[in-house]
Structure 1
Amino acid sequence: LYIVPQEFLFDPVSKTYGDPSRRPEVRFGTVEYTATSDYMARPPQPAMYLFLLDVSHNAVQTGQFTVNFRFSYLLKKCLGYLQSFCEILFENLSSLPGDARTKIGFLTYDSRIHFYDLSDRHNGTFRIMIVPDLENIESKLDEVLPVPDGIMVNLSECRTIIESFLDQLPKVYQNNHETDSALGTSLLIAEKLLHQTGGRITVFQTRLPNINPGALNEQTGKEPTVLTPTSDFYKKLSLDYASQQIACDLFLLNSHYIDLTTLSCISKYSGGEVKYYPNFHATHSPDQVERFENDLRRYLQRKIGFEAVMRLRSPPALSIQTFYGNGFVRSVDLLVLPNINPDAAFGMQVAIEDSLAQYKSVTFQVALLYTSSKGERRIRVHTLSLPVSAALKDICSNADQEAMVALIAKMAADRSTTSSIQEAREGMTNVACDVIKATMSNDSSNRTGSLYVPHAIRLLPLYMLSMIKSTAFRAGSSIKADERAYYIDLCKTLPTKYLMKIFYPDLYPIHTIEDQSRIVQDGEDELYIPARAHLSFQYIDAHGAYILDTNEYIYIYIGRAISDHFVQSV
């Protein structure tokens, strides 16, 4: 039975009246529309990808001796991350989201800035242009900037030159001894290159930037314990990026302190993201190399939207208090997102401003207006209707505890940066205590005063304890400042299902995988999906083997009494 306004009886596609269940917006919680020109401030721009690559000596030190057969040359001293980057981008040039208008460009930097003219004006070869003098560079950016048409080139038209560039780039800097890093200048130049169209900037940084503008101080002695930015340069630049529809993503591959708290500001306000690979080295940390390469492949291949804005609508009795996630809050209910991707997540804290007695249900609607990589302006609408109840027992019995954990994590992350880690920890403890206290006081059947929590939120105290013990919120000085800052950033930006794995990882027994698993058909193959085990040592069998999925890493635990047959067969 559909009880909908009369307007929904009319089908605008067939231009007839009839069954409203045929309309997608009635049948589905998520629908997408093609936007008209009324929703365009300008024609859709092409997909623009600009890569900023740190090639200082610190980057060279992440390398190794290796023979590379893909590009058919011997790398005697390989730029570890740069070699991986060039190979993976080479493989995925055809997978970059976009159309025939897609453009791509590269800047490298150490104590100087290196431009690359990849246009077809030089007989099929690329040309390197270097800016050696960066003193007072902010006042003369227009003078040093080459012709943008040669820097940002059409991917399909200049494909051969781009492939040649990626083939040769690691060799160019394999003996580089420049130790400085002019990240700030590179970001300013990148803004000049993209300010007319917007787009995506991807930064690969291996050390603390130490050349103005944007220079950060080396830490002597102990690392900082306060998670506040030490400079406002990156925040201000990020806000400028947002106003010009530019997003900036960071890949940090450092071996020493890099001040992630400050650098991440460039992504926070521009709708970008941060990836962190501590102690990255091609031979000493193969696990980080594998993470980096897998993340980079996903990053290059996934869908992307440009020039996006997101608005949340709710009944008048409710008001939006706070947005959580990377983006610029233009107004109370409007979030500016220069880039949007499937791996981004956002949280909204909503307050009840007036009585809900007149409502049987309340409806929330999120509308995302964006430009697809194919140059189409679209509107994606998510609609959620929730029943209203004055009984706390009903609310607790139907609560989504994982959604609660995700929102509490975002609130705690904010408190960690504006106040202290200790206050964030106390807040999580108070949440668990308040929930238990409220449910007990509202349960009239509980005469004995025993501890009782509704089934839907029974794991909330456990999750709060897990959060308190997590890398983001753990007390003490054993957690490095960059690592803590990274996980706090994940609390704000990760989708709920991935964030839950960080706080409460998935544990799977694999020694009983053929006996006690759910079989799922994957094409012609059968996959055995084992049941999750509780994260308690009492459920660990000394004769067993387990996989622990923490989202960032996967660990294999082998029991001390595991059979030789299992070890050899697996």
Structure 2
Amino acid sequence: MHPYSNHIPQPPHSAGRRFEGFRRKINPDQIPSATEAIDFDRHQWEDTIYQNTPGELVPLSTSDFVGLDQGNSSPKFVRMTTWNIPYTSRLAAECAVPIAAILQPLADLDPREEPVPLVDFAEHGPPRCERCRAYINPWGTWTRGGNAWKCNLCTHETEVSSEYFCNLDANMQRMDHLQRPELNRGTVDFVVPADYWASNPPQRLLMPYFSVEPPPAGPRKPLPMNFVFALDVSSEAVRSGLLHSACATIQDILFGQNACFPPDSELAIITFDLTLHFHDLSSDLVPMLVVSDIDEVFVPLRSGLFVKPAERQMAIEKLLMAIPERFLEMAYVEAALGSVLRASLAALAGRGGHVIVFQSTMPRVGIAALPGEPNEADLYETSKESSLYVPRDNTWRDIGTECVEDGIGVSMVLAMNKYIDVGSIGVVASITGGELFYHPRFSPVRDGAVLHAQIRRLIRRTTGYNCTMRVRTSNGLVRLRVSEYCGNFFQRGATDLELGVLDADKALSVTLKHSGGTLDPRGYVYLQSAVLYTTVDGHRRVRTCNLALPVVELAWNVFRLSDLDATVYHLVRRGISQMGSEKLANIREDLTENCSSVLLSYRNKCSNTSSHDQLILPEAFKGLPVYTLGMQKCKCLRARTVSSDVRNYTAHRILSMSVRSLMQLLYPPLLALHDLAEDAGMPDPTTGRIVLPDIMRDSHLYMEAHGVYLIDNGEAMIMWIGGSVSPQVLLDLFGIDDFLSIDPQMSVLPRLETKLSTQVHNILEHRRIQRGGRFSKFFIARQNLDAAELEFSDMLVEDQNAGAMAYTDYLSVVHSQIKQVLRDGGTIGGAVALRGSIW
């Protein structure tokens, strides 16, 4: 039977954009499928070790694979848009494939992989090039009988200390090569001496907070990371249940059965509304000190503000249980967020750390107070719309910068009932490397467990604070240089990035550019990223990631090892970074033109004998059009009306998330639960790993009314239930056989003693493990009954929805652009490319 001969009608959705002009009849089965590539790659690598050598095909980010570090860092740490570098800038331009690196230095590894080695050179510190200051790595060479090493980045020879000397063998390798991780592993952690300690920022003429003591100066001894939990106790936080959920979550993380708070770390708890409340945790009575001056804040106590939870468990538990009751009747409407951030800065000055804020209302009082809500409807699709995506008060940028200078990261839980201005307050989290958690219309029943998992992941994951990052590239006579950074960080100069915190879930992208001339086609281009950071337990480290990339002369080789995931990641980030200066319509057009340019370049350089009427797609970029369509349908860029809070939150997430998370956000995995294979979701008897089912295409054309489907983009997980579903399937999943009796407010799928229930729960648990313990909000969408079906339909990327075309129509647009250039000459975009100029 034809796969969509009995398909359901398209679910209710917001109007999409229709194709204009002559439309060719396209069979959906004949167009490239993103799901086929994902499933093929997953099956290919699940039982194969990736050797990680230059010139090899790289697994997709969505595949679980075991990598072998043989001098090149794993793609989990560094992923390139192309793993073969064009030998000239002209070839790079002709290929139209951006040259960029995606860096995730603290990424989690598969449990089957060897951990990142730790190398200690004692007081000497790691060997570094005298000229370019690159760290020693597997791609350097040895000279003078082992007395010096030649830097692979700048070719300078640097002598080694007598303690590090070793004789060379017949292959000019050190005799102890295999015993030295820094000489055979691409990713290494170096222990560093006091020379690498962070420095306290110089004293400012105007301090952001009041202190009777002068600010600390000079180098800062590494300490275990300290945490400040800042709790909004306004009436909205109490009413919504956020305050109670936050206190319960903190208590469980500190003292619960699976407590995960770092044993050497200290914490402080601050509550705030119209005033700031500091709590003395050293006293059994836990007195509360109130600071009413929220314009010039100060910390009223030093001793007792920070304590180790294990030493003061009774006092902390007493306070966390008392806070929700204490402010139940006396809560104020406002909460001074800017003031509490400056107070947290004052509390952590000289030590660094992480501030975790729970906020439920837009800050209208105190430092950086914001005016009323803007009239967004009047700004959409105008030249002023970009003002919605930048801070309305630059003090928020200043607060973020001040925190970074002191080695402080800020993460925020935003649980509000109305507009909160994420574009302003969220910039603090963006600049410091922190995270935003977004829970509009917070409900403890629906969102409490998700919030708990988010904060637990925030505490448990690998994290560094007081971070400085630099990326170095080959810089001989001709070099590939860093031209642009993109992500959530603070960049003071041209080379160094600073972050208050950097964790396992965060990634940054780096654009590389030819400086001119010709690279050696028989050689390699080298890249090294180095992150100087302090660990949670208080040790100063440098993590280096290294790559050697072959140089090629043919465009075919550039496309052969191009990386779809990294290219999509780079393009969408570059588009989102322009939201504060460009109209969204222009950004969407640019994305389409970028997609068409890549496909046109492949056509011209690798397949120019084909008919103009034939759409030719390179193997590596078969999924580029559908992912580009997904970019235009994501909530921060889509054409339909979306609140600026949602756009700004989604933009922040995309500018920080990993490559895998982004690919699943742009094209969410869709499963047919009613049609699972017998072994799907069950442990493999040979390996013990869960057997994962293949995913299906994101379109109603492949769905049936008797089916049950699950879609998950990392933010929301929606179970769609067809009106003709079998009662037996309902019994196996929900324990009831009546379609109309299913509770649409259900936030957790029940666990039943049925095989189908076991299969589904195993699949969900596997996804949760993949995300480090985080999981999505769960919604039920019964066919033509529940509001969640609107969100479900917008996640079907291949359908006509979310203010954009269907996949088949979008392919026609891309093909038309390519045919026009092939027929008339010129470039993709033509005169439209001038729209951003002064003309």
Cα distance in structure 2, aligned partners of 1:474 and 1:302: 32
User: Hey, which of these two has a bigger chunk of strand by percent?
Assistant: 1
Q: For 1:464, what is the secondary structure of its paired residue?
A: helix
Moved more, 289-298 or 6-15: 6-15
Check the 8 A contact 1:47/1:97 in 2, yes or no.
no
Question: Which residue in the other structure is 2:650 paired with?
Answer: 487
Partner of residue 290, structure 1: 449
CA distance in 2, matches of 1:55, 1:308: 32
Report the RMSD for the aligned CA atoms in angstroms: 2.6
Cα 1:569–1:281 change in 2 (3 A) is closer
Q: Does 1:91 align with 2:255?
A: no
- Check whether the contact 1:111–1:180 (CA below 8 A) recurs between aligned residues: yes
Q: How does 1:390-539 map to 2 (within 5 A)?
A: 390-444=553-607, 446-449=609-612, 450-477=614-641, 479-515=642-678, 517=680, 520-521=683-684, 527-539=690-702
CA distance in structure 2 between the aligned counterparts of 1:417 and 1:31, rounded to whole angstroms? 37
Alignment correspondent of 1:157: 311
Q: CA separation in 2, counterparts of 1:301 and 1:445?
A: 53
CA distance, structure 1, for counterparts of residue 489 and residue 261 of structure 2: 21
Structure 2 counterpart of 1:46, one-letter code: P
1:271 paired with 2:271, answer no
Instruction: Report the residue type matching 2:472 in the other structure.
Output: R
Unmatched 5+ stretches in structure 1: 63-79
Unaligned runs of 5+ in 2: 1-69, 71-137, 148-159, 168-173, 198-218, 380-384, 734-839
Task: Decide whether the 8 Å contact of 2:461 with 2:503 is kept in 1.
Answer: yes
| Mapped partners of 1:525, 1:447: distance in 2 | 48
How far apart are residue 366 of structure 1 and its match?
A: 0.9
Q: Does the alignment pair 1:128 with 2:306? A: no
Matched, 1:338 2:500: yes
Partners of 2:316 and 2:689 lie apart in 1 by 41
Count of residues in Structure 1 that have an aligned counterpart in Structure 2: 539
* Residue of structure 2 equivalent to 1:5: 141
- 1:206 corresponds, among 335, 360, 382, to 360
Q: Secondary structure at the match of 1:308?
A: strand
Matched, 1:55 2:55: no
Deviation at 1:514, TM superposition (A): 3.2
Residues 31-80 of structure 1 show CA distances to partners (whole Å, capped at 9, x for unaligned) of: 22222233224321232101111111111220xxxxxxxxxxxxxxxxx1
Q: Which position in structure 1 is the counterpart of 2:177?
A: 20
Q: Which amino acid aligns with 1:394?
A: N
Quick one: distance in 2 between partners of 1:201 and 1:295? 15
Q: 1:488 offset after TM fit, Å?
A: 1.1
Partner letter of residue 547 of structure 1? L
- Following superposition, the deviation at residue 155 of structure 1 comes to 2.9
**Aligned partners of 1:165 and 1:307: how far apart in 2?**
30
Q: Aligned letter for 1:171?
A: E
Inter-partner Cα distance in structure 2 for 1:47 and 1:551: 28
The equivalent position to 1:32 in structure 2, one of 176, 189, 197, is: 189
- 1 or 2 for the larger relative contact order (CA 8 Å, sep ≥6)? 2
Deviation at 1:212, TM superposition (A): 2.9
Q: Determine helix, strand or coil for the equivalent of 2:189.
A: strand
Cα distance change, pair 441–56 in 1 and its aligned pair in 2 (3 A): same
Amino acid at match of 2:569: A
CA–CA separation in structure 1 for the residues paired with 2:325 and 2:269? 16
Task: Encode CA deviations 1:369-402: one digit per residue, 9 max, x unaligned.
Answer: 1111111111211112222223222212211111
- The answer to whether the 8 Å contact 2:671/2:710 transfers is yes
CA displacement, residues 484-534 of structure 1 (integer Å, 9 cap, x when unaligned): 111111121111100111111011222232337385449997634111112
2:639 is aligned with what amino acid? Answer: A
Within 2, Cα distance between the matches of 1:133 and 1:48?
A: 25
- Mapped partners of 2:685, 2:718: distance in 1: 24
TM-score scaled by length of structure 2: 0.61
- Distance in structure 2 (CA, Å) of the matches to 1:126 and 1:504: 50
Q: CA 1:458–1:19 in structure 2 vs 1: closer, same or farther (change >3 Å)?
A: farther
- Counterpart CA distance in 2 for 1:336 and 1:441 is 42
* CA shift for structure 1 position 99: 4.2
CA distance in 2, matches of 1:559, 1:292: 30
Q: CA deviation at 1:357?
A: 2.7
What CA distance in whole angstroms lies between the structure 1 residues aligned with 2:243 and 2:460? Answer: 19
Residue 370 (structure 2) pairs with residue 216 (structure 1): yes
Are the counterparts in 1 of residues 181 and 188 from structure 2 also a CA contact under 8 Å?
A: yes
- Between the aligned partners of 1:406 and 1:329, the Cα distance in structure 2 is 21
| 2:721 matched residue in structure 1 | 558
Aligned letter for 2:235? H
- Give the match's secondary structure for 2:441: coil
Return the offset for 1:169.
1.5
